Structure 1
Amino acid sequence: MLLLLFASLLSMVVTQKIPCTEYYEDENVLECQFNNTNVTFKYKKNEYANIYCQTIDFAIPANFTLNIANDMNLDSLGITSCHTNILRSVNRLTSATSFTTIVLKGVIGPLLGEDVKNLGDVENLFFRDMGTLTGTHVPTEAINALPSLKSLRMTDGFFQLAPNAFNGAISLEYLELSGHIQNIPAMAFAGLTNLTNLNIWGNDFEYIVPGAFIGLENLTSLTLSTNLNLASLEAGVFDGVPKLRNIKIMNNGLTILPNGVFGGLKDLESITILMNQDFLSFGTHALSNVTSLQHVKILSAGLQSLPEELFKDSSNIQTISINGESITELPKKIFRSQVNLKRLDLSNNQIEGIDSDLFSSLKEIEYINLAGNYITHLPRDLFSGQGNLKEVIFDNNKIVSIDFNAFQGVPIEQLSLVSNELTFDYDDETMSPFENLPQLINLNLKDNKICNFFDDWRFILRKLETLDLSNNNLTQAPAPMSFLHNATIDLRSNHISKVWLPTYTPPPANRWRYKPQFLLDDNPLTCDCEIYGLWQRLNGKIVDDEPEYVINETKCSFPEHLQEFYVKNIPSKLLVCDIPCNVSSECDSCVAISSSNEIALECNQMPKVLPNPDSENYTFYFTKQPTLTVKLNEQPDTLQGYNVHTLNLSNCQLESIDFSPTESLKVLDLSNNFITNVPIEFLEGDISLYLGNNPITCDCWHVNDIIMLKRYQNLMDYDKIVCSNDVYLNELDVTVLCNSLYAAITGALVFMSMLLIMTVLFLLLYKYWYEVKVILHDRFGDKIVTRSDMKKKYHLFISFAHQNYIYIKLLVDRLETEFKQKICLHFRDWEPGESIPQQIINTVNNSCKTVIFLTNEFLDSDWANLEFRTAYELTLKDHRNRVIIILLDEDLVHDPRLSKELRAYLTTHTYLVWDEPNFWRKLSKVLPRTEYSITFLIALRKLGCCFFPFMASVTNDVEEVRVQSSLNVHLNENNELVNEPRNCADV
């Protein structure tokens, strides 16, 4: 189509010799030159056409056409900076029979009837930028030549109105005038009998004479806007508009609206006064006796006061909105006629006080808004008799007190008192001023100074769904089971440090009928034993009918050493309370641990007197009688007379047990000592026993004790007990311990022959010691450093979740100082700017091994899981174990969040548990080595220990010879075999 159009235009241009340029943007554009005048045509076929001239009178050739409308009606025609006589050619030029809308911008004239008579059924005519239009009056002749005209807009001009200026435009329904008009004479709009909407704005007149609107007998809407010189409206100014329903007076310079200005408007329904440029005042009866008036809206009009008789006898008003004014006082009887008023909005004024009878006549009122004022007190019976009142707003005032009968007998459902000075600091009252609002659904008391929680909120306001007490001064949460309704209680951003809940026990079905929700974020919570009940609820210990507690990102505020923990994620064993125990100075601490229901003491030695768990002093901390746990630094002489349930003697360097069990003792921890004999007396007492990391003697002399130990059901760390010969108890075969006769005969026969062999062996070793050392190291010693490991930058890369840093710090400190490991930590050693996935790959490849610190938080971390997968893939690639896994909690091996790779690895490989006995000894065995030693003693053991068991007891007096894995082996000045140091090696 465009090609055909271009061909036709090109043919036309050649015939007429008119230079034109055509191109297409979002519309068709044709630039032509007529008589040295540039004219631009922009159009879309069958939609619109716009013509842009250079304001020079010129003639378009008779046979120059664009065929835009195809002999049909065109919706829109725009003429810019052209002479008005171009309108005589537009039908032919565009091939349009008529135009619906014509926009004339900056045209020069005059505009005559001859110019527009052939434009067809024009409905909308818009004059813009009329400063260049010849003449200073309305183009009445042209307007009258458009019998179908319904809308006329004349803006940005300098024209004046004369009487009967629009006489003849009987079809006009909408008229807009903005032309710096300086006067509106009487009868200016006579003849506009069908006009319904008149908008007069942006003019210069100072007043409107009475009779100016005569003839507008069907006008329903009038707007007077941005007429900055308009200072007043006289009584009778609206005579002649009997059907007027809506008046908008906006952004004028009014100083007064006198009495009677709206008199005679029997159909007037709405008055809107906005953004007045001066201080406005009303006549004492300015809005009185307007019986049809329903809506009054006044905003930023400069009001400083309201007459008491302002609305007198205008009894059908339904909404009054007076906002953003400087009103400081409301007359007592200003609303006495408003028996049908439904909505009253007096927000954002400067009202300081309200009389108790102010709203007494408002029997139909449903909504009252007094937000943003300076009110300090709500008096008695303020809302008495308002039987339909549903919503009341007093936000952002200075309310300090509310009379207990202020809301007597009203069915309010929504009440908001946000950002006031309320404290409700009563000495004897258990009820608030809202106890008389049984229909209340939402009560918003946010941003006040309330310190107490009142009984009516829990027991009386049974329909309450939302109670917002956020950002107040509450120091404790209400009792959880005291609510008789399912409300959401917002307690965020208060000063609550304690939330005491009973320790979780599954309640019987339907014990609590109601399920309120407590929002507790952003409170300075103290993480001690008193918060244990809340901790249980946050971690799933809750039944369907119990209240819900919501804490998302709140951390502990106290004590200081727990401030990095989120309340929900803190280990329960850290939730302790210091309690008075009245024990001797030998004890460093005495705490209540709610999670284990115990009183725990740490003492250097057993005190003379221990606290009594039956005492009432401890009932606050426990829901049932607690047990007594004592941690000592040395064993007691006796336990007789002490009601000790758990005795912890771990890490006391004990070699034997010198006291006897008692009936009260149920748990004994002897782990991490030097005990060699099985404590049979405690096994017979059926005590839960910890014996891990003790050098228990497992030989024929103690076989019966070992058998009893293996069969003991209450051995709590059975799989962690290691005999003195480094054999785990759970792997020990006791049947081989006492083959003593066979061993004696065999030993006697073999001894002499082996003595001779050993003599020869020692001589050979002495002569060929250097060669033997290398052979033994390669055959029996630790693995040689690989070439790739020699170049690695780090021994260990530690992968962990940042929430577990408290454990990682302990791990790293000991690895770097005691085990001389070079550690890579992502927050310390990664280079800034590089992507995290690439950082992970580089770090794993540049480390001999990767330590995975497996915790709940690790499983929730995408980056931590990526670090494991990267190390796991390198293990598969190198066929060497490059992963060390440390579990914070052994139960994690069954966690459903484990990836399939991590689950498979834990199933097929051993792992370490953080708090298990011998943890550091086990860890040291799998750490990368910086050098390897082989001694003369080790050489003998490697060759002969299988044949000569006595060699295991050979002393370490033989000189140690150090051999490093490399091809560059040489002797140092001490005649020791050494090599260049390497970064690390596999173990």
Structure 2
Amino acid sequence: MELRNTTMAARRSGAAYYQQSVAQCFLLCCCIFVNPGIGYSLKNCTVRETLDDPNMKVVCTMRKLQAIPDDIPQKVRTLDISCNNIALIKKSDFKDLMVVNILNMSSNQICFVEGGAFLDLVTLKELNLADNKLTTLTEDLFLGLGNLSVLRLDNNLIKTIASLSFHCLSNLQKLNLTRNRLKFLKDIHPILQFTNLQELFIGFNRFTTFQSQEISNTSMGLQVLDVSSNPLGVFRITGDVLPHLQTLNLSFSGPNGSLEWDVLNSSFLSSVSILNLNGVNMSSDWVDMVLQSFNSSLKQLTLYNIGEERIKTFTDAACRIPKLRVLRLLQSNILFVSEEMLQSCNKLTELDLSNNLLTELSNSSFKSMTQLDTLNLGKNRLSSVPNVIRNLQSLHQLDLSVNNINKLHCSDFVNLTGLSILHIYHNKIPNIEGCVFQHLRDLKVLNIGTNKFLTLAGAFKNGFQQQLEILDLRGGLLETLSNGDFKGLTSLQSLVMYNNKISVIENGAFEGLGNLINLHLASNKITRVLTGDTFKGLTKLKELNLSSNRISYETQGELNYPPFCLLSSLEILIIFSQHPAGMIYLPSNFLKGLKSLLVFNAKNLNIRSLHPNTFIYTPKLLSLDISLNEFRVLSPEPFLPVPRLNQLFLSKAQLPSLDFLIGANLTQLSLLKVTNNALTAISPEEITSIPALSYIELKYNAFICDCSNSWFINWLKESNKIQVVYAYDYECKNPVVPKDTKLLELDTNYCSISFLCFISTTCVVLFTLIVSYTYHLLRWQVVYAYYLFLAYLHDTKRRKTCAPHKGQYDAFISYNAHDEPWVLRELLPKLEGEQGWRLCLHHRDFQPGKPIMDNITDAIYGCRKTICVISRRYLESEWCSREIQMANFRLLDEQKDVLILVFLEDIPAQELSPYHRMRRLVKKRTYLSWPRAGEHPGVFWEKLRLALETRNCTAEENPLLSGEERPL
């Protein structure tokens, strides 16, 4: 019994091992044969669109590249390789990139470009080589760029330009050579011959003169010319070479700020409408001469850092120009604006006096400016709103920002009924009275943030600003939003109040804002749990920002008053970074009512789990950012209600796997970002569960570099529809590999060998298990089948080789050697001596030298009967087993009475079942039992004689063999 229990336990253990092996084989086969959307990754770049997008943009910025990447897709239209360490551009770097339209290589270390490097860029329109170290432009530098329209070479070290450098750039429209080391205009003479060139920037170089005979003898198509910050001593135009020029920048020109002006005919610059003379140190005698050159066309004049003592001279000269409408007097240290300073500027529509030192303006400063539309007084030292403002009834835009204004009066903006834009931010205003803006009935934009008022004090309750669309109150000291604070702003569309100190929002605070679209409440101190009435009335609100506040919840349980239940039109909700500990829990019905929500940003909230019902109220959700939380584990249930989700951000969420994607039904997810987590491997099931995926980023994870990731590594190296961003930077985190080893450096070829070894080992194990199982449970059935098969073979061989044997013996005695004494002392004397039967015994009658099996076959088929003397020793004997199986086969084959069973021992039926199916045979046939003969051995021998006498009848016809009589 103990042995049997041990065998059964071993069998169960073997079965479990077998099941585990089969499961491992199946999973590994899935990894090899399942082929989800194959991924691709560029070594140092990202593709902003898909590989099939006709406007594909490839970005390789800030990657510390030393050379142009060699795996850039040929279909790229915009290529950005800026902010790297590339020093040399080779001829083969852009081979086959024949559809690129925009190429940005700014902010590198490029000092040399091989000739013909751009030959394949036949469709290029914009080339940016700014902020590099080029010193020379060679003749073959721009070969192939016949379609180029914009060329940026600013912030280089260019000293020399070959005469034929620009000869192929016939379609160039804009050239920027600012901040180089050019000295002679003749160097750019070839480019000036192109009639398509419209904008030329050559400021911050070393030009000492600008003379028309140096640049061209024919008319040019230039519209914008910037020669600022050059040591120009002379500006001379002696011919009509710039007939289309509209913008001229001469700021900070001339040695020591002086400039000799020589324009013989005012018609030569008759198209210039915008002129910049910032920092030009011209004498008063020359002012009239300079401005007369633009007398017929100038509309905008900028004067920067010219000194207060010359302001009057310049403004008088400028305002005498009939078409002048815009005057900018920046950073000129102006302290006071008198009536005389701007008296002649009666036709101005825009005046910019920002960045000065103004503390006061005369009440009649702008008396003559009846057409003034825009006035900029920002970045000065005004302590109040100047009284002169009240007289500017034509004003539409007023900027008083960044001053020292400490009070607003009810009469400050009287008569400004046409004002539409008012900037008064970054002052020291302590409060706002309700009458301050009462006259501004057409005001649409009001920026009054970064002041010191604590409440709105009913400033917007009376409905005077019914046209106001944008109200900016950022960066202030607001603490409470009271009921009806914005009641009068019925047209308001955007309300910005971030970076205040708001801690309380009373119910009804936003009453009246029925047209509000954008509400920005970030970076405040909102701690009280918001209720459904908090946002009452905001029926058209599209975007709500509550980030960086102090909102928190104690459980995931349902809220009695969900905060957004009335915001059915809201499309964007931002609540990231609640301080100091985060929101911690996201209530299950937190998003109730947001049936139109498209974007939800809930990162950095210290959330540890998502309730399955979190998103059941947002079926249209497209973008979800839950990064910087502590999920560790996510389940698929929360994502089931948002099948339209297109973007999912899960960076720094401590996730060990992406198995939650399996069963999440995210069939439309195209962008997945899971950087800075604890991922060790990616399975094919996780990828196939998101069939629409086109962009995935997995940088900074703990990938294991072994064969468990072989599928993922091979998938990364393929090229198809899914972009795996920065895949070549993925590092191995397991300690068995050297530090900084990259995941894609792992050689997966040996994994196939390992797989074959695994399969081989598994097969050996399975075979061993099957053999063990068979040995313990089916050993004798197999032996029986084996012997039966041998009997069949010998029978077939006998039939083919010889005629039927006529029989030399009456019976063949099959017995074990241990039972030989009984056979010789009891059986043989009775059957041969007394009854006269001829018996065949193997030790006496087998033919010497003949194979044993042949002797057994001949003996069984050469005798009329086979008598099997059965004992326990007999059942364990290999040759006895063969003999009885051969006799049994003859019985089955001939269907005649040829087998007699004689038991020398009483063997229970349950002990017979493992042996040659003996139990079944005993059930079918009558047998003789020697132990049961007892005191009547004569009956035993008589029955045996009768059995030997039966000749050719079938077993059914012989009552001794039909099973009708049982043993004695």
TM-score, normalised by the number of residues in structure 2: 0.46
Q: Higher relative contact order by CA 8 Å / sep ≥ 6: 1 or 2?
A: 2
TM-score, normalised by the number of residues in structure 1: 0.45
Kindly name which structure, 1 or 2, has the bigger radius of gyration based on alpha carbons. Answer: 2
